[in-house]
Amino acid sequence: MANYRKLGKTSSQRKALLRNQVTQLLYHGKIVTTEARAKEIRKIAEGLIAMAVREKDNFEKVTVTAKVARKDASGKRVKEVVDGKKKTVYDEVQKTVTKDAPSRLHARRQMLKVFYPVKEVPAKNAGKKKNTKDVDMVKKMFEDVAPKYVNRNGGYTRIVKIGPRKGDAAMEVLIELV
């Protein structure tokens, strides 16, 4: 007996479908799908949330010195002539960065295996490519989703039955984050 539902798809189609729906569930907070798909999505999503909760605070802040190109008023790099060649002028600045512990880095990479890239489009530019932003789903998991579920031991999703779908009478459900 299989440990998963085949959903009437080949393995690559099934994996792509589940990755997409898990990404959308964790980005939007809820999606409408069939009952069989929702039960498969729940397994993956709850594992990712549990991983994020476990590794939420597993990092350290480190101060590093970095070279940054000096820019003029218009935002272009400042160049000066050295030995007859134009070279960019760099300034050294102190930056504070977060350094992941090895287990958090592993968790980050495991999440990246599941998530598809998400683009956020402002409401006024709907349907246009201009001013879109890439959403870092892993960062969202560690900073937004994980803190909500710190005191919870599993059960991060809820499946609510809506009713049969009009075309094929498949049971439709709403799967949402609790």
Are 22 and 86 part of one and the same domain?
Answer: no
- What angle (nearest 5°) sits at the alpha carbon of residue 39, between those of residues 35 and 140? 115
Q: Is residue 5 part of a domain?
A: no
Q: Closest by alpha carbon to 55, among 109, 108, 113, 98?
A: 108
pLDDT on residue 1: 58
Are 166 and 82 part of one and the same domain?
Answer: no
Are 90 and 128 part of one and the same domain?
Answer: no
Are 90 and 110 part of one and the same domain?
Answer: no
Q: Is residue 3 part of a domain?
A: no
Describe the crossing of helices 11-28 and 35-54 by its angle, rounded to 10 degrees.
60
Which of 100, 117, 152 is a domain's end point? 100
Are 167 and 94 part of one and the same domain?
Answer: no
pLDDT on residue 25: 97
Report yes or no: 79 and 88 within 8 Å, Cβ to Cβ: yes
Report yes or no: 159 and 175 within 8 Å, Cβ to Cβ: yes
pLDDT tens digit at each of 178 positions of the chain: 578 999 999 999 999 999 999 999 999 999 999 999 999 999 999 999 999 999 999 999 999 999 999 999 898 999 998 888 999 989 999 999 999 999 999 999 999 999 999 998 888 877 777 788 899 999 999 999 999 999 999 999 999 999 999 999 999 999 999 9
Are 75 and 148 part of one and the same domain?
Answer: no
pLDDT on residue 2: 72
What is residue 120's three-state secondary structure?
strand
Are 133 and 117 part of one and the same domain?
Answer: yes
pLDDT on residue 124: 81
pLDDT on residue 41: 97
Q: Is residue 4 part of a domain?
A: no
Are 155 and 118 part of one and the same domain?
Answer: yes
Q: Residue 63 belongs to what domain range?
A: 59-100
- Per-position DSSP letters for 65-100, written without gaps between them: EEEEE-B-TTSPBPEEEETTEEEE-EEEEEEEEEEE
Are 130 and 157 part of one and the same domain?
Answer: yes
Are 95 and 18 part of one and the same domain?
Answer: no
Report the distance separating Cα 2 and Cα 146, nearest Å.
31
Instruction: Please give the tally of structural domains in the chain.
Output: 2
What is residue 5's three-state secondary structure?
coil
What CATH number did the domain enclosing 116 receive?
Answer: 3.90.1030.10
What is residue 29's three-state secondary structure?
coil
